[in-house]
Homo-oligomer: A and B are copies of this chain.
Amino acid sequence: MQQLELNSLTQKMPPPLKNTVMVIGGAEDKVHGREILHTFFMRSGGTEAKLAIIPCASREPEAIGSRYREIFQDMGAQRIEVLDIRERTEGEDPRWQEYLEQSTGVFMTGGDQLRLCALVADTPLMEKLRMKVREGSIVLAGTSAGAAVMGHHMIAGGGSGESPNRSLVDMATGLGIIPEVIVDQHFQNRNRMARLLSAIASHPNRIGVGIDEDTCAMFEADGIVEIMGKGTVTIIDPGPALYTNEGHIGPNDPLSLYNLRVHILCHGDRFNIATREVIQRS
């Protein structure tokens, strides 16, 4: 049933959309079915879309920008602009803001999330983007580093192969598009459960969202997150009964976290971020 709905959404022109934010775990299929990228393309208006690609996370913005431009052109997009911003001051360029004003879809590529934030956070361009997401006049997608920046608190880096501990994760401030979540990407692929747990211990009023490669958490206007793609999305909900020793230990000491609610979700699963409940499949 959900499979059918999803397919029909992918294939037909979408209805007028409000506020879809596609948070992609990196390494999305760019060659074969391209399901996630095609969904972004369709939701942005299909051949009528006016797309902006923000490649600023990458150290090779030209190459990665061209790659995505070709993909969306290949799908039939007529108007695509790569916002190859190399200096913060370019975020004030009225040209980009005018283009963004007209855009129906914005795609943020992978790379380094700190680089992306350093270039665009708190610029007029980003304010414009945030406003358009909020009013529902644009579809925003971000993959890998472009996904990491979605929350207010952002995982900037970290390790794996250790017991959860505060020093296992480096936190920074993200773009705050979906402030209530902390996103981690390439999640099971790079064994990032421990670092996301460590992040949640420090920010227990957020929801951890770990997204596997070629997998997308689609945040919809109605507060529903729907999963699409090949892997899983791990939801870590600290819940009302959380206890953590986080404030009472050293940075390398192992963390306690009691009473987490965890959901492993795959294609077609849906989670209500307001009620923090998974929507049972019928």
Asked whether A266 lies within 8 Å of B254 as measured between CB atoms, the reply is yes
Q: Is A193 an interface residue (CB 8 A)?
A: yes
Q: Is A256 an interface residue (CB 8 A)?
A: yes
Q: Is A161 an interface residue (CB 8 A)?
A: yes
Asked whether B193 lies within 8 Å of A193 as measured between CB atoms, the reply is yes
Give the oligomeric copy count.
Answer: 2
Q: Is A262 an interface residue (CB 8 A)?
A: yes
Instruction: Of the listed stretches A113-121, A129-137, A183-191, name the one at the interface; the rest are far from the partner chain.
Output: A183-191
For chain A, residues 231 to 282, give those with C-beta under 8 angstroms from any C-beta of chain B: 231-232, 236, 243, 245, 253-267, 269, 278, 280-281
Q: Is A5 an interface residue (CB 8 A)?
A: no
1/0 per residue, CB under 8 A from B, across A35-51: the answer is 00000000000000000
How many chain A residues touch B (Cβ–Cβ < 8 Å)?
Answer: 39
List 10 A-B pairs, Cβ < 8 Å.
A162-B189, A163-B215, A164-B264, A188-B194, A243-B278, A243-B280, A243-B281, A253-B266, A258-B265, A260-B264
| Chain A residues within 8 Å of B, Cβ to Cβ | 160-164, 188-191, 193-194, 197, 212, 215, 230-232, 236, 243, 245, 253-267, 269, 278, 280-281
Additional A-B contact list (8), CB under 8 Å, known A161-B191, A258-B265: A160-B191, A163-B230, A191-B193, A231-B254, A243-B280, A254-B267, A257-B263, A260-B264
* Smallest CB-CB A-B distances: 10 pairs: A191-B191, A163-B231, A254-B266, A257-B264, A163-B232, A258-B278, A260-B262, A193-B193, A262-B262, A232-B254
